[in-house]
């Protein structure tokens, strides 16, 4: 294989991971994932590791690790560890096929190298194993009960913080300029732009995210995208495409406010406000008011998808959901974002 092959790769990563007792991967950490790499080093790796094209996750042997150390000082860590090391080559953006390449893609998202919805993540639930995430590291769920008894016997604390396919992002990637008040609520594969503050009630799923700066005190469900300057209020909900919602990917434009405990079932344009406590579903029938407060017509919320400058509220006197021109645009509190 020729050395210029690296330039046509979709992605490459060298990772350190964890395997269960049967040698199956549980998770992989990639300190420096590469998208469309043009590094000379990657070309060297293609030769050294025997990459033959397509998708390959190659567990490196002692000789290969030895060779790695010679490529450059930044690879010394991989050569020095006795943890399993893997090299992932992805010629194309195909569906995840194994744990290492699925984790590489999750890293690309959280490193802000690709935006949510722009790479192929289909079928990832089938590829990722369910893992017990403990204070002693990741453990195969099937091996947990034995470890629990052993730790109890020895008086060694063992705490299990998650039983899940997706780890928390911050154990792998902490992008610059963010605050995350409760890191257990941001999955690896979430995209957090600079200036993002995720408060305790905020949540961001994998393959979803916010452009930054943003205040996130609500839930950014699967496939949801939020543009800069938008504030998701405490406990607010965005409908995802995986469970319970419909199949319209939700997005919010710039400088929107989704009020506390509000919810959103349609995409919004810029400068929109959803009043605190109002859940706007796609099927809601909405009374349209003009700038003078006069009723002009009734529309389905879905017909307003993507429109800018709208304020949605429930009339507190007659219970109707109303939509009117949004007079005040919101502004984030710079103190909460500029010093992240």
Interface with a copy of itself (CB under 8 A), residue from 8, 152, 303, 325: 152
Q: Which stretch binds a copy of itself (CB under 8 A): 45-53, 62-70, 247-255, 314-322?
A: 314-322
Choose between 46 and 190: whose C-beta lies nearer to a copy of itself: 190
Query: Which residues in the 192-251 window bind a copy of itself by CB under 8 A?
Result: 200-201, 203, 215, 217, 219, 221, 231, 233-235, 237, 239, 242-245
Q: Which stretch binds a copy of itself (CB under 8 A): 52-60, 92-100, 140-148, 247-255?
A: 140-148
| Smallest separation (angstroms) from a copy of itself to the CB of 43 | 23
The separation between the first and the last C-alpha atoms of the chain, rounded to the nearest angstrom, is: 45
Has 331 been annotated as catalytic? Answer: no
Query: Which residues in the 2-41 window bind a copy of itself by CB under 8 A?
Result: 16, 29, 31
Q: Which stretch binds a copy of itself (CB under 8 A): 65-73, 98-106, 258-266, 288-296?
A: 258-266
Interface with a copy of itself (CB under 8 A), residue from 298, 303, 306, 325: 298
Closest CA to 37 of 108, 109, 106: 108
Number of residues that bind a copy of itself (CB under 8 A): 101
Which is it for strands 25-29 and 34-35: parallel, antiparallel or unpaired?
A: unpaired
Let me know: does 44 contact 51? Beta carbons within 8 Å: no
Choose between 93 and 171: whose C-beta lies nearer to a copy of itself: 171
Query: Which residues in the 46-105 window bind a copy of itself by CB under 8 A?
Result: 77-78, 80-83
Interface with a copy of itself (CB under 8 A), residue from 69, 181, 248, 302: 181
CA–CA gap between residue 286 and residue 280 (Å, rounded): 9
Cα–Cα distances in angstroms (integers) from residue 244 to residues 115, 117, 222, 280, in the given order: 24, 19, 11, 15
Q: Is 259 an interacting residue with respect to a copy of itself (CB under 8 A)? A: yes
DSSP H or E run through 149: helix 144-154
| Smallest separation (angstroms) from a copy of itself to the CB of 291 | 18
| Smallest separation (angstroms) from a copy of itself to the CB of 37 | 19
Helix axis angle, 62-71 to 40-49, nearest 10°: 160
Let me know: does 228 contact 193? Beta carbons within 8 Å: yes
CA–CA gap between residue 154 and residue 162 (Å, rounded): 23
Choose between 193 and 263: whose C-beta lies nearer to a copy of itself: 263
Bin 244: left if φ > 0, else alpha if -120 < ψ < 50, else beta.
left
Give Cβ neighbours of residue 319 (< 8 Å, ≥ 6 apart): none
| Smallest separation (angstroms) from a copy of itself to the CB of 272 | 14
Interface with a copy of itself (CB under 8 A), residue from 3, 4, 130, 290: 130
Q: Tell me which of 27, 41, 201, 217 is the catalytic residue.
A: 217
CA–CA gap between residue 54 and residue 101 (Å, rounded): 12
| Smallest separation (angstroms) from a copy of itself to the CB of 180 | 5
Q: Is 289 an interacting residue with respect to a copy of itself (CB under 8 A)? A: no
The tokens 């050395």 sit on which residue?
Answer: 3
Q: Is 132 an interacting residue with respect to a copy of itself (CB under 8 A)? A: yes
Interface with a copy of itself (CB under 8 A), residue from 20, 97, 170, 308: 170
- Taken in order 94, 100, 102, 104, the sign of the CA dihedral is negative
Torsion of CA 262, 263, 268, 272, to 10 degrees: -10
**Residues with catalytic function:** 217
């Amino acid at each position: 294989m020729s050395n210029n092959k690296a330039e046509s790769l979709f992605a490459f990563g060298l990772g350190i991971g964890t395997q269960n007792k049967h040698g199956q991967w549980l998770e992989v950490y990639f300190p420096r994932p590469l998208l469309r790499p043009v590094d000379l080093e990657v070309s060297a790796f293609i030769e050294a590791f025997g990459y033959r094209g397509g998708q390959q996750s190659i567990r490196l042997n002692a000789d290969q690790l030895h060779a790695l150390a010679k490529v450059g000082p930044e690879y010394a860590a991989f050569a020095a560890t006795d943890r399993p090391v893997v090299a992932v080559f992805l010629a194309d953006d195909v569906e995840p096929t194994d744990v290492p390449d699925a984790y590489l893609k999750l890293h690309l998202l959280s490193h802000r190298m690709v935006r949510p919805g722009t790479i192929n993540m289909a079928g990832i639930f089938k590829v990722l194993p369910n893992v017990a995430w403990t204070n002693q590291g990741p453990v195969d769920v099937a091996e947990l009960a034995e470890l629990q008894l052993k730790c109890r016997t020895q008086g060694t604390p063992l705490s299990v913080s998650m039983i899940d396919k997706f780890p928390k992002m911050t154990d792998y990637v902490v992008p610059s300029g963010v605050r995350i008040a409760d890191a257990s609520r941001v999955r690896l594969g979430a995209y957090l732009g600079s200036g993002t503050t995720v408060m305790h009630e905020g949540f961001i799923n994998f393959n979803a995210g916010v452009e930054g700066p943003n205040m996130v005190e609500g839930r950014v469900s699967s496939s949801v995208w939020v543009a800069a300057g938008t504030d998701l209020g405490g406990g607010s909900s965005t409908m995802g495409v995986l469970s319970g919602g419909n199949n319209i990917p939700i997005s919010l434009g710039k400088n929107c406010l989704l009020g506390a405990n509000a919810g959103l079932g349609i995409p919004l344009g810029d400068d929109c406000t959803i009043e605190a406590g109002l859940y706007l579903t796609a099927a809601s029938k909405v009374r349209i008011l003009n700038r003078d407060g006069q009723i002009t017509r009734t529309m389905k919320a879905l017909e307003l998808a993507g429109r800018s400058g709208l304020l949605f509220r429930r009339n507190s006197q007659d219970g109707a959901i109303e939509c009117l021109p949004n007079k005040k645009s919101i502004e984030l509190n710079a103190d909460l974002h500029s010093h992240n």
